[in-house]
A and B are shown apart, each in its own frame.
Chain A
Amino acid sequence: MDISKFTSKKFLATAGVLLAILVFLATFPTYGSNSAVGIGLTILMYIILTVSWVMFSGPTGYMSLATAAFFGIGAYTCAFLYQKSGPLLPLPAVIIAGGLVSFIFAFVVGLVTLRLKGMYFAMFTFGFVMLLNQFMVYYELNILGARGQRVFPITNQTAFYIVLVILVLTLLAAYLIRRSRLGLAMQSIGENEEAAAHMGVNTTMVKVLTFAISAFFMGVVGATMAPRWEYVDPSVAFNMLYSFMPILMAVFGGMRELYGPVIGAAIFAYSERTLRLRFPYHYMLAFGIALILIIIFLPGGLTGLVPNLKDKLSGLIARLRKGGQSEQNANT
């Protein structure tokens, strides 16, 4: 069997599909209605948050609930630098600044907390979001004198294009990290941190660095959404939904392959949007049931089905062939 032919065919097919999706997305704002572009924007935002959450928490198994913190830090960085009354910096610089401030926060917080294991780490990251939220409430009321920040507005279309660029960069980073020695190190940490350390992996450095890289992308998205919403306050920026949703989406889609979280987030965010409008009281119930079913029956998530199906299919084909052969044998 010629494997190289197979893989190159597969490679071309993948590249073709990706290109088609990219062209579709890049042209979407030109013909999509304003509200459709808005929905698309939300979906892309969730895909980025999910992919960047999986970037760190997927391989290491450290359950971070800090996504909302880094999203909010990005949003507030933007709110202070890109004010309605007059932006201090051009938008691209503001967005990168949002990512960098998140990166720095994650680095420092990571140094302190990534010694914590399991539940304690999850609880600390949860507390971190609460802390930032309360701090901003205090800071706005007592120091700035008013709740919330007005941000210089951008359109759905502009935000969509920016977020699309961020998405491509996030996927590229996630892909490269997975294939790099950093990815291997994270995986070994998730499998057995003690053994990894004794094999020469600087576990603290690896964890802190990847935690901070994933926070960069969360911050960049936050910084893009702030001017789209035109207004930021602590309950908007540090909304715990931004911590929980990406986890649900990642579990829903499956985390083994890079496209798992992408598909999970896309389906989840889209159906959340549409179901919430139609069944405002029951949509969460439906999600709850869907998630429970997936966790019980599809531990690998939605995309975990693919290798399963492949196995079954090739098993079936093999059996059919064998059956055919033995029949032939019986006939002769």
Chain B
Amino acid sequence: MPILEGQGVTKFFGGLAAVSNVDFHVDQGEIVGLIGPNGAGKTTLFNLISAAFPISSGEIRFKGQKLNGLKPHQICKLGVARTFQETKVFANMPVLQNVLVGAFFGSPNRVSWADAAREATQALEFVELSAMSTIPAKDLTLVNQKRTELARALVTKPELLLLDELMAGLNPTEVSESMELVTRIRDRGITILMVEHVMKAIMGICERIMALHNGEKIAEGTCQEISCNKTVIEIYLGEEAHAGN
């Protein structure tokens, strides 16, 4: 059974359909990639799932429950966590405090101080940031800010994690470390939906890929299928290849 399912998902900004009649699903335990050129609607789809905006039409279900009409904090408590394309750490708060927010508020139960502190410390260990727990988040490098966001999301005990361009702006070493991290998260039983432009990362860890263009889903399939898909090559991969040259 799919853990996340969307039917006819549509979002208008004024006259522009940023996401247009998209059907999709993510199965339990999968790592699914979401690709597409700039402005394709990938982030907007994440924003609809996490209820940053209300959906214009269509519906999204998480574990069979309709998400329409819920607020972002309720989505988080249901077990859907996310990171942001433009990092949104709590800049002036120490890293540990950043993660504590997730620990206290991310789960539906009331969490004690001792438990929150323990879980936050564990999450920081998991993303290998323990050494930086007292540093204000704004003083971290990009990769470490992204890991702070990751720890903050993980500590809410999600079943589904939405990663928006986790690898963007990272150097090759950092990219492979992050790929390894994502696989370790999946091995903990967390389903992952990730937006990524770094094709090496997508092809390396995703089991399935969806491609968006102008808000519409243009393709879906295994890595192999997608990398051979004519439309995707024309619209996206080709462009990337050119950009690469």
Contacts and interface: CB of A to CB of B under 8 A. Distances in A.
A192 B91 contact: yes
B73 A200 contact: yes
B82 A201 contact: no
B89 A184 contact: no
A194 B153 CA distance: 14
A198 B52 CA distance: 8
A184 B156 contact: no
A81 B91 CA distance: 48
A199 B102 CA distance: 5
A169 B90 CA distance: 30
27 contacts: A181-B104, A185-B101, A187-B93, A188-B93, A191-B93, A194-B88, A195-B84, A195-B88, A195-B89, A195-B90, A197-B71, A198-B50, A198-B52, A198-B72, A198-B76, A198-B82, A199-B76, A199-B105, A199-B106, A199-B152, A200-B73, A200-B102, A200-B105, A200-B156, A201-B73, A202-B73, A203-B73
B100 interface: yes
Interface in A162-205: 181, 184-185, 187-188, 191-192, 194-203
Contacts, number: 69
Nearest to B113: A181
Interface in A223-259: none
Contacts of B71: 197, 202
Contact of B77 (A181, A195, A200): A200
Contacts of A199: 73, 76, 101-102, 105-106, 152-153, 156
A134 to B, nearest CB: 35
A192 B89 contact: yes
Given A198-B50, A200-B156, A201-B73, A191 B91 contact: yes
User: Would you call the interface of chain A mostly helix, strand, loop, or mixed?
Assistant: helix
A58 to B, nearest CB: 13
Contact of B107 (A184, A192, A200, A203): A200
A196 B101 contact: yes
Nearest to B90: A191
Nearest to A188: B101
B154 to A, nearest CB: 11
A184 B97 contact: yes
Nearest to B76: A200
Interface string B48-80: 001010000000000000000001110111000
B134 interface: no
A200 B88 contact: no
A194 B52 contact: yes
Contacts of B152: 199
B7 interface: no
Interface string B99-141: 0111011110000000000000000000000000000000000
Contacts of A187: 90, 93, 97
A203 B72 CA distance: 10
A197 B88 contact: no
Contact of A200 (B89, B91, B106): B106
